[in-house]
């Protein structure tokens, strides 16, 4: 069995945080694919992978997804807009609350 070094343990258990903010940086399809490829190998329950991901690039795609959202997520979802260059904005300030 390999034992992780102290820095690795710190990154995993004391420094890691959930993402809850956004930037105006464009995320490429290659970056999305890389993030998905890493995430799909995460631990599972009973050797199943309930992980489902949808990457949306257009307002039309977002509108098709809206009916599937939980009521508590609709305001954030509706307020997040995308520009043709792929940059997201938060005109309602939902994410800064």
Domain chopping of the chain, boundaries: 58-97
Say which range, 5-9, 19-23, 70-74, 84-88, has the weakest mean pLDDT.
84-88
Give residue for tokens 């930037």. 23
Q: What is the pLDDT of residue 25?
A: 77
Q: What is the mean pLDDT of the chain?
A: 76
Q: Examine the pLDDT at 89 and tell me if it is beyond 70.
A: no
Query: 96 exposed, middle or buried (CB, 10 Å; 0-12, 13-18, 19+)?
Result: exposed
Buried/exposed code over 36-74 (b: 16+ C-beta within 10 A; e: otherwise): eeeeeeeeeeeeeeeeeeeeeeeeeebeeeeeeeeeeee
Q: How far apart are CA 72 and CA 70, in angstroms?
A: 6
Residue 14's φ and ψ, nearest 5 degrees, are -120, -20
Q: Examine the pLDDT at 86 and tell me if it is beyond 80.
A: no
**26-67 per-position pLDDT tens digit:** 788 899 899 888 888 877 777 776 777 888 777 788 788 888
Dihedral sign (CA 54, 59, 80, 23): positive
Task: Label residue 20 by pLDDT band (50, 70, 90).
Answer: low
Q: How much is the pTM?
A: 0.55
């Amino acid at each position: 069995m390999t034992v992780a070094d102290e820095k690795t343990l710190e990154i995993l258990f004391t420094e890691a945080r959930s993402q809850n903010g956004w930037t105006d940086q464009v995320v490429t399809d290659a970056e999305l694919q890389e993030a998905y490829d890493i995430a799909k190998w995460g631990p599972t329950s009973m050797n199943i992978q309930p992980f489902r991901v949808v990457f949306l690039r257009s307002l039309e795609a977002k509108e098709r997804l809206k009916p599937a959202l939980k009521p508590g997520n609709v305001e954030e979802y509706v307020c997040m807009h995308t520009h043709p260059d792929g940059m997201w904005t938060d005109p309602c300030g939902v994410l800064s609350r």
